[in-house]
Homo-oligomer: A and B are copies of this chain.
């Protein structure tokens, strides 16, 4: 191992440990001391990599976006179209919301963003654009009811998914998330697809 790969590995460990604490307790309730204690590192060793708790939060938020690339690529291999692709993706994203500590941390950090002295990247916007692209594909295949505003519908699908994982989290720690996503799609697909496409 070269020195730089060891440094990288420590860096990753710090991010993962910080993410676990941010996810569990939130940003305000987590101190640098909590993070170094869980890592078994000195503050000096942590400050070699990150200058502040805010910088760590920013890194976690940036890393959140890296979770989606592999899922979107895998979806392309499935040979699905339009909303069927998006639906396939939504279950994988649901698993990430439940099990990926960086994703869970980022969701919590965004809610505390007014308390974080760093400009976190905007949430939702990328997913709304992605969803709109799949809606356009669905439209091109002639499978949508007429007169839909695709941008508004894309926004709504993202918001419905986000509410679904959130309520599932608050009531059941996301244990029932898959069956909730089932019902979400049952309603949405009948709500936007033309009758002969269902």
Contacts and interface: CB of A to CB of B under 8 A. Distances in A.
A1 interface: no
26 contacts: A26-B111, A26-B115, A28-B28, A29-B112, A29-B115, A108-B111, A111-B111, A111-B170, A122-B171, A123-B171, A145-B190, A152-B180, A153-B187, A155-B180, A156-B160, A156-B180, A159-B166, A159-B168, A159-B184, A160-B164, A163-B164, A187-B187, A187-B188, A189-B191, A190-B191, A195-B195
Interface in A155-181: 155-156, 158-164, 166-168, 170-171, 179-180
Interface residues of A, number: 45
A170 B123 contact: yes
A183 interface: yes
Of listed A24, A125, A149, A191, residue having the most chain B CB within 10 A: A191
Contacts of A166: 159, 162-163, 166
A134 interface: no
A159 B172 CA distance: 13
A192 interface: yes
Specify the main secondary structure of chain A where it touches its partner: helix
Contacts of A152: 179-180, 183
Contacts of A124: 167, 170-171
Given A152-B183, A170-B123, A26 B162 contact: no
A63 interface: no
B156 A159 contact: no
Contacts of A171: 122-125
